[in-house]
Amino acid sequence: MHAETMRDRLIVGLDLPTVRDAEQAVRELEGVVSFYKIGYQLAFAGGLDFARELASGGTKIFLDMKLLDIDNTVAKGVENIVKMGMTMLTIHAYPKAMRAAVEAARGSDLCLLAVSVLTSMDEQDVIDAGYEYDPHTLVLRRSEQALHAGMGGVVCSAEEAEAVRRIVGPGMAVVTPGIRPKGSDHGDQKRVVTPAQAIRNGSSHLVVGRPIVGAADRRAVAEAILDEMRSA
């Protein structure tokens, strides 16, 4: 893979408290990173307008909203997110919600991602949430449902990427958060993998937040992660 391709596969999570902080991070990473994730923290601090602004300038944005609601509400939300020019959007992997989202995004370039099981959850957490499956089985079952619903990809732990890739085939995105470069702190993630391992396991995109945005030299850390991805 040449450099540009790997650059398109690294998504930096702008998990920061204010748009001003996020603007600073984007400035520092200019020329190294071309794809950013905006989630709840920033979205509720003016991040949706910031996302629209970045997208209009050609930056790719993964809007991590994990939508789940009645079909009509999901569909109307997706229609407006398409108009914002977003590249990726997460939907909880419930079959009805996924089908509604796919229908609403039809004809657009928006890649809809099915959130299978959060990477902060282990087996006990899944049982506590009322599921009869272990995390691995639940991820595979939901990946199959995402494929049948016509989704653009699946979000899962890089530990599961290989098994998910076998189910969804080469065409769908397999997006893996919980990526921690060698020697970094795991934070609240329970199922974590290094960048090189994730690429080898079949991840199409790696989401890295705190290890980059929390670093003293964000640019150097991002470049080191890209090097590690290329080495795989």
**In sequence order, what are the residues at sequence separation of 6 or more whose Cβ sits closer than 8 angstroms to the Cβ of residue 61?**
35, 36, 37, 38, 51, 54, 55, 85, 86, 87, 88
Domain coverage including residue 14: 3-231
CA distance 223 to 71: 41
**64 belongs to an annotated ligand binding site:** yes
**What pLDDT score was predicted for residue 180?**
87
Question: What single DSSP character describes residue 149?
Answer: H
Least confident range of 4-8, 209-213, 219-223? 4-8
Radius of gyration of the chain (CA): 17
Angle between helices 135-149 and 95-105 (to 10 degrees): 40
**Is the pLDDT assigned to residue 191 strictly greater than 70?**
no
Residue 3: pLDDT above 70? no
What CA–CA distance (Å, rounded) separates 50 from 20?
A: 10
- Condensed to tens digits (0 to 9), the pLDDT of residues 54-65 reads 999 999 999 999
Query: Taking 60 as the threshold, does the pLDDT of residue 186 lie above it?
Result: no
Q: Is 226 annotated as a binding residue?
A: no
CA–CA dist 10, 13 (Å, integer) = 10
Q: Is 142 annotated as a binding residue?
A: no
- List active site positions: 64, 66, 69
67 is in an annotated binding site: yes
Number of domains in the chain: 1
pTM above 0.85, yes or no: yes
Is 189 known to sit in a ligand binding site?
yes
Assign residue 140 the CATH number of its domain: 3.20.20.70
Residues in contact with 113: Cβ distance below 8 Å, sequence separation at least 6, in sequence order: 62, 88, 89, 90, 91, 151, 152, 153, 154, 155, 173, 175
Is 209 marked as binding a ligand? yes
Note the pLDDT tens digit of each residue in 149-174: 999 999 998 889 999 999 999 999 99
